[in-house]
Structure 1
């Protein structure tokens, strides 16, 4: 079996806490290089995980011919240029969500991937939750009938990440839409069967984040530098006639500290998929309403599982476990919400 050599672009929290341990668990993988513009951060991660090469310029790292795979954990604005440069250097790419900031960037990444003959995958780890995999099979078997409507929520009361990479548009591309909304949107959209997007209408607002009298449970942030939304909502229509609503926030005046959940409604059954609580299926048999609960499911580190699936696909020459064409539709939706909010009109897609 081939021994895959991996290089990291970005060595922040998600790389150190979630991705690095996932690669280290695999016997046929070796992380040999890490790049971060903060040399001290790259050095600390290299020391912790025994990585021999550190860089502050990922382009220099890409010159290492032995590297087969690049894992991108850099700020959102870096995703597209770093991925395209990686493909030009002949590397496979797994990239943290969102795959890119705009649909055009994703299209460029897909084109570069195909030209290089290399795999591209967005690290949408929620698809790899055991309960999500089971629900996907249930839906594909037709047990829910036609899924015609869904809701997706990623709402936080006072959980605004204060780092510049989350609050400055030039780094993040957006606020909760591109940070947490993309997670629940991708999960629910995938469960719906990845229908083509027909139209999007929505709002992206900054109502609380600029106020000095609003606190954050994760610490203070630079109010003057904050230039992304703190709340967004969208209504999405799909080409197959189905529709979905999406709501996401960093700051919202609500009871719960956080709500991360999806609901799907079909002609034969409905599904509730909350975070941290067993999913439920709702249906009617013999004129009697029934509630089924999925219990006893294993708890696995989903970031580790997505990395394992990525390597397995390379080993077995299978397609990307998260096809980038599906990620393109997700980014179309989020970009549509931003465009609709600016124009006040519904955004149509061909």
Structure 2
């Protein structure tokens, strides 16, 4: 059994990490969040120490590390806001722990290089959650692409709409400096998946970008991809909304739908299993996706070209 600590225990994604820690037979000994709505801890680790102040959390972990008669945190799970990931990973490594960080790992490619230096200095490692690489449907698609003629360019359409209320833009997620913008916050794992399946990025063009939606074109070694991301419920197809759904997810390859709506439940646990076996996704595995979203964030939108993205046909954005 390994002992974990967690930063960002009140966050949306934290329960998936708690479940993964528990499901892999490990223990959470300490948790930190500036917000104290963390009753979820009782469902997983009721004996975990909880702190709302970073300094007290730091002191607690340091005391455990120095006391040879107690168990120390070997891993720190990081579920904090995006812009704090870099600092919290540095803290983890320098505290003698390995880091498991939620997506996006960092906001800029330069952060990856700096973190590699800290890894080398401390001897501790960083892993992240790139869960789509473990999804059976995505693995199957990658296998099919690998068997195709090497010069084949597949035509891919990616649409992901995950409705959010007005709170989203008022929170840190609505601040591009803190979240990285919509493509980074809700899209980074899709861009990683596209790289994982179709190879290196050759073109990256942004056609539309706002606080609530974005659209563009990516070309990979083996694919031409038109993508659309949104948090606006009005973008959910009417027939889907009629069924009470506020999320719409679609990936097609050469006109065929890739069914991957299911199979998400245990991907964090699967990720933890691989990390604990030494097979996790580290800094270099994240580089292409972080490069991609950084370029999208800093691009000047070129404007939608006619019905460039089929999903936007006849729509005003």
Structure 2 length as normaliser, TM-score? Answer: 0.77
Match in the other structure for 1:247: 228
User: Offset of 1:37 from its aligned partner?
Assistant: 1.3
2:283 aligns with one of 303, 316, 324: 324
Aligned-partner Cα distance in 2 for 1:271–1:189: 19
Runs of 4+ in 1 over 6 A off after TM superposition: none
User: Offset of 1:246 from its aligned partner?
Assistant: 2.7
Contact residue 129 and residue 300 of structure 1 kept, 8 A: no
- Structure in which a larger fraction of residues adopt helix: 2
CA 1:246–1:105 in 2, change beyond 3 Å: closer, same or farther? farther
Match in the other structure for 2:310: none
Output the aligned Cα RMSD: 2.9
Q: Which runs of 5+ in 1 are unaligned?
A: 207-228, 278-297, 345-350
Contact residue 152 and residue 188 of structure 1 kept, 8 A: no
User: Offset of 1:13 from its aligned partner?
Assistant: 4.1
User: Offset of 1:184 from its aligned partner?
Assistant: 2.0
Are 2:205 and 1:201 equivalent residues in the alignment? yes
Match in the other structure for 1:152: 158
User: Offset of 1:273 from its aligned partner?
Assistant: 1.8
Aligned-partner Cα distance in 2 for 1:249–1:325: 28
2:188 aligns with one of 179, 182, 202: 182
CA 1:146–1:9 in 2, change beyond 3 Å: closer, same or farther? farther
Q: How many residues align?
A: 281
2:49 aligns with one of 53, 65, 84: 53
Aligned-partner Cα distance in 2 for 1:189–1:52: 38
User: Offset of 1:67 from its aligned partner?
Assistant: 0.8
Match in the other structure for 2:314: none
SS in 2 for 1:309: helix
Contact residue 138 and residue 260 of structure 2 kept, 8 A: no
Match in the other structure for 2:28: 31
Aligned-partner Cα distance in 2 for 1:272–1:51: 45
Are 2:78 and 1:69 equivalent residues in the alignment? no
Aligned-partner Cα distance in 1 for 2:202–2:40: 43
Aligned-partner Cα distance in 1 for 2:188–2:166: 16
Q: Which runs of 5+ in 2 are unaligned?
A: 66-71, 241-245, 304-317
1:131 aligns with one of 123, 137, 153: 137
Q: What per-residue deviation string (whole Å, max 9, x for no partner) do you get for residues 43-62 of structure 1?
A: x3444422432222154454
SS in 2 for 1:41: coil
Match in the other structure for 2:306: none
User: Offset of 1:115 from its aligned partner?
Assistant: 3.2
User: Offset of 1:139 from its aligned partner?
Assistant: 3.6
2:20 aligns with one of 19, 22, 33: 22
Contact residue 24 and residue 272 of structure 2 kept, 8 A: no
Alignment of 1:335-346 (within 5 A): 335-341=294-300
CA 1:190–1:62 in 2, change beyond 3 Å: closer, same or farther? farther
Match in the other structure for 1:5: 3
Match in the other structure for 2:216: 234
CA 1:61–1:331 in 2, change beyond 3 Å: closer, same or farther? farther
Aligned-partner Cα distance in 1 for 2:16–2:300: 34
Are 2:173 and 1:166 equivalent residues in the alignment? yes
1:263 aligns with one of 245, 248, 252: 252
Are 2:113 and 1:107 equivalent residues in the alignment? yes
CA 1:135–1:143 in 2, change beyond 3 Å: closer, same or farther? same
Aligned-partner Cα distance in 1 for 2:256–2:99: 33
Structure 1 length as normaliser, TM-score? Answer: 0.70
